[in-house]
Each structure stands twice: as C-alpha cells, then as structure tokens.
C-alpha cells in the first residue's frame, strides 16, 4: 500500500502546476511566442529532417583526395622547417616549438572560471595567426601558417568529408525547435548517428550540396538582419539613414569614424582586400595616393586610419562587434590590433558615430532594473535572472535583435509551409540556417510563376514590425543556382514578376 505522504506529494504536484498555469496564462498573449507556435514549427522541421539534401559525392571524393595530398606535402614542409616532426594537433608540442625552441613570447587566452577570468598559454588559431604575421621585433614564421593550413584541412576532412551519410546518399540533420534561449533553432546528427549540424557548414562544403534533378536551388536570406534590427530598436538616426537610403553600412560607418570619403573607402577595400598585414595595407594606400592629390589629402585629413586592415574592414568589424557593447580589449584581441587603436574605435562607434546605441543600452539596463524582463517585437518575453554585471547586460542587449530576427524567419517558414495553394506546394523546404531558408523548386519553364512564388515566400519573411512607435521591415536577398548551394547568384526579389522571371531564366539557361 502506498505511503499517504506520497499521495499527498502527488496531489500538491498536480494542484500547484494548475495554479502556476492559471497565473502564467494571464500574461500570455495571442501574439506571444508560445507553445502553440513551437508546435506549428514541428511539421516543417520534420519535413526538412525527412527530406534531407542531395550531395555530389564525385566532387566530394575529388576534394578529399586532393586535401590528403596537400596535408602530406605541407606536413613534410613543416617538418623540414622545424627540424623535426611537429604534431599540429598537440598544444604541448606546438607550445614547446614556438615558445621554447623559437623563443617567441607566449600568447594567452582568457576563460571565465568561477566568476573570474584565468589566463592560459595557447597555440590556437588566433595565436598561430599572430605568430605567422610577426611583429616589429621579429619576422613572421611560415611554420605557423603551415600549422593553420594543416589543421584547417584536417578538420575539413574529418568533420565534413568523412561524416556518415544516410544510405540513400542524402545529408540530413535533427532540428531542435527550442535550441537556444533566444529562440534560434539548433541542429545536430540524426537519431541514427548520421549527418551533422547543417546550420554552420563552411562555404566550401556548400559546393557539394546540390539540387535534385530538374530543380532550381534557392536561398532567401535576411540582409544584415541584426544590424537593421538594432537601428530601429535603438532609434539611432545615423543607422536608420543607412538602412532607408540603402547605403553600404560598413563603408558609411568607416566614413563617420575616419572622415575619409566613402568612394575612397570602397576603392581601398577593393584593392587591399581583407588582409591584416600592416605592410600590405600601407602598400595599398601608397598606390592610391600615387598620382592622386585628392586621395593624399583625404588620407592626411583622416581623423583615424586603422593600420592592420582597410578602413571599410574597420567599419565592418565595428558593426559586427560593438552593437552589443564589446569591450575594447576583446575587440583588440579578436581583430588583431593594438589596444590603443581598439579603444579609440570603440569610443567613436559608441559615442560619436552611433550614439543612439549607447542610449539604447542604458534604456535596457533601466528596464532590467524594473522587473528584469524584456519583450521583443513579436511579444516574446525573457526574464534575466543572472548576476547584475556586464555579462547580464550584454546578453540583454543581444536578446531583442537576435530573437526578433529568429521570429521573423521562423514565422515566415511556418506560413510558407502551411500555404496549401497549388503553386505554393511546388517548392520544397530543405534547410533553415538561422537567418535564411534553403529550398528547391521544379523547373517547369514558367519563370514568372516561379517569381511570384519567391515573392510570396519573401512577403512571409518580411513582416512589418513595430517597436517603440516605429514601424520597419528587414529586407530579403534571393540567390538561385542550378549547380549547388555555394554558387547561388543574386537576383532582385523586389523586381516585377516578369523581370524577376527573366533574371532566373537567364541563370538557368546560361
């Protein structure tokens, strides 16, 4: 016979749950991110998990063989330079070679342990990048570049090329509809141990994911979604100007920080590229100055010039890192620059270029002081119960834009999947990649109809959002390809049906 205390405990368990439900239901709105919305996501997720994507194994095998040959050649060259065999995957062996045998001052990383940051010696990719580049006191070491190359190729082979695929030759994953606390889906191997996380595939591997015969592969992506969301959530006038006038956000940010004309910023970026080598940056600027007094004057009058990257790259890295109040020390570490330069960049971004973002951060802290609860543009609320410190604030800053973009994409995916009209049933969902949807559509020769379908999906993914009395949308970008996911060509999703259809037809018939 059951102990009476067990029965009483179970009774309390049921009664208390019901009481909690009644209180929670009072604050749950029809528009909120609730159980019902999560359940509606299950069908499209199950479809994508079941369907999977086609993989071009012939090309994959060619690359695998090529990478193995390159790894062997680079390892042989590395051993020659080191005078012994170096195990690139052994932190201890790499630390011994670079920091003891070559006498290079060690690089460190910091990890939070028990509420405090602790430093430890590292030979991770960032350290190898620094060693390869060198400093004013020493030349760069090619051995570090070889270590990076070998590690990267081994990861490509081991993680992606040698993964286990399903017996029908398709790549599948398992989606978790409540993957992260801010609402992003997560993905992993299937329940059978095949496939992998499909939301962080490297660009090179996407070249092996192909449409099924007779289909056109497409991807609808939210353009700079989080940055646009921050613009309207913060109400910063300069950011909103960039969005509404269709300006290059990275070049415009760089222009406001340095005073250099946007045209020169873009020209410099085209010539120099993405290098972090200060010598290459200086050489590129010297070419632009030669024979152009206007360019020389623009550089001389600049408020600030980054030494280890192009001006546009400086704007881009600022846009990507500083909206959530990244500190100057972390900015310097991530972007391989002097802390003094990083401190200046952070100050200009937060107080001169986009001061509205800093005010927005303060308003979020004020809201947290009231009830520690934030609500995004779709009515989804989150309560922040962590320690009252910078880490908590930064999580709160990220919540509003990140969760808003997630809800835009997932709501659009759900509406598209449940649209049962004949034309809308033709395209297939293949993958959800955080800020984009991947799919394929049958090539039946009616390109105007295909254009209308793409525009309808785009409409589902571009709702009008209201926040703080402002209405805004986040635009889409459409890429299509008959070859593979990686090589999609952008077409104008905002063109008329006939024009968009012609653009698609030209790509198909090329």
Query: Is residue 123 in some structural domain?
Result: yes
Reduced to 3 states (helix: H, G, I; strand: E, B; else coil), residue 408 is helix
pLDDT of residue 32: 53
Query: Is residue 39 in some structural domain?
Result: no
What is the domain range of residue 130? 70-161
Q: From CA 494, how far away is CA 154, in angstroms rounded?
A: 42
* Closest of 366, 472, 358, 429 to residue 185, by C-alpha: 429
The pLDDT tens digits for 376-391 are 988 888 899 999 999 9
Query: Is residue 379 in some structural domain?
Result: no
Q: What is the CATH number of the domain that holds 92?
A: 1.20.1060.10
Query: Is residue 501 in some structural domain?
Result: no
pLDDT of residue 1: 57
User: Rounded to 10 degrees, what is the CA torsion of 187, 190, 194, 197?
Assistant: 0
Query: Is residue 122 in some structural domain?
Result: yes
CB within 8 Å of 64: residues ≥ 6 apart: 157, 161, 162
pLDDT of residue 58: 94
Pick out the chain residues at pLDDT < 70. Answer: 1-2, 27-34, 112-117
Reduced to 3 states (helix: H, G, I; strand: E, B; else coil), residue 365 is helix
The pLDDT tens digits for 289-317 are 988 999 999 999 999 899 889 999 999 99
3-state helix, strand, coil in the chain (%, to 5): 55, 15, 30
pLDDT of residue 21: 81
Q: From CA 268, how far away is CA 309, in angstroms rounded?
A: 10
Query: Is residue 80 in some structural domain?
Result: yes
Query: Is residue 205 in some structural domain?
Result: no
pLDDT of residue 428: 96
Number of domains present in the structure of the chain: 1
pLDDT of residue 31: 47
| Predicted TM-score (pTM) of this structure | 0.85
Query: Is residue 406 in some structural domain?
Result: no
The pLDDT tens digits for 318-357 are 999 899 999 988 888 788 788 889 999 999 999 999 999 9
* Closest of 77, 71, 131 to residue 101, by C-alpha: 131
Query: DSSP letter at 426?
Result: S
């Amino acid at each position: 016979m059951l102990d009476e205390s067990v029965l009483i405990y179970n009774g309390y368990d049921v009664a208390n749950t019901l009481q909690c439900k009644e209180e929670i239901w009072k604050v749950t709105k029809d528009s909120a991110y609730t159980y019902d919305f999560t359940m509606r996501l299950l069908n499209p997720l199950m479809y994508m998990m079941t369907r999977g994507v086609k993989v071009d194994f012939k090309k994959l095998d060619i690359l695998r063989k090529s990478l193995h040959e390159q790894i062997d050649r680079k390892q042989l060259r590395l051993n020659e330079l080191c005078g012994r065999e170096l195990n690139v995957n052994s932190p201890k062996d790499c630390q011994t070679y670079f920091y003891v045998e070559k006498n290079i001052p060690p690089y460190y990383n910091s990890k939070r342990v028990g509420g405090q940051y602790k430093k430890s010696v590292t030979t991770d990719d960032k350290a190898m990048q620094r060693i390869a580049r060198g400093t004013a006191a020493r030349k760069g070491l090619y051995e570090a570049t070889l270590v990076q190359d070998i590690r990267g190729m081994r990861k490509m082979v081991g993680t992606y090329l040698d993964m286990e695929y399903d017996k029908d030759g398709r790549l599948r994953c398992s989606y978790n509809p409540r993957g992260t606390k801010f609402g992003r889906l997560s993905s992993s191997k299937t329940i059978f141990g095949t496939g992998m996380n499909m939301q962080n595939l490297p660009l090179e591997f996407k070249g092996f994911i192909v449409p099924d015969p007779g289909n056109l592969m497409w991807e609808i992506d939210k353009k700079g979604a989080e940055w646009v969301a921050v613009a309207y959530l913060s109400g910063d006038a300069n950011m909103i100007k960039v969005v509404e006038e269709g300006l290059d956000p990275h070049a415009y940010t760089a222009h406001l920080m340095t005073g250099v004309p946007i045209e020169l910023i873009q020209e410099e970026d085209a010539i120099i590229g993405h290098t972090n080598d200060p010598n290459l940056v200086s050489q590129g600027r010297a070419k632009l100055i030669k024979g152009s007094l206007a360019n020389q004057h623009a550089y001389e009058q600049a408020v600030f010039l980054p030494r280890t990257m192009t001006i546009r790259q400086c704007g881009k890295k600022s846009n990507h890192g500083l909206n959530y109040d990244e500190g100057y020390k972390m900015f310097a570490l991530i972007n391989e620059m002097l802390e003094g330069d990083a401190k200046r960049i952070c100050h200009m971004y937060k107080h001169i270029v986009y001061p509205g973002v800093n005010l927005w951060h303060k308003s979020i802290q004020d809201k947290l002081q009231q009830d520690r609860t934030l609500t995004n543009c779709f009515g989804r609320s989150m309560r922040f119960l962590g320690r009252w410190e910078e880490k908590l604030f930064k999580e709160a800053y990220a919540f509003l834009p990140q969760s808003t973009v997630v809800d835009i994409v997932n709501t659009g995916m759900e509406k598209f999947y449940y649209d049962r009209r004949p034309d809308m049933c033709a395209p297939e969902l293949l993958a959800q990649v955080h800020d984009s949807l991947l799919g394929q559509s049958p090539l039946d020769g009616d390109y105007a109809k295909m254009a209308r379908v793409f525009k309808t999906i785009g409409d589902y993914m571009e709702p009008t959002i209201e926040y703080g009395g402002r209405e805004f949308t986040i635009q889409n970008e459409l890429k299509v390809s008959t070859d593979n996911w990686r090589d999609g060509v952008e077409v104008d999703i905002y063109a008329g049906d006939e024009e968009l259809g012609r653009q698609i037809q030209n790509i198909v018939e090329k």
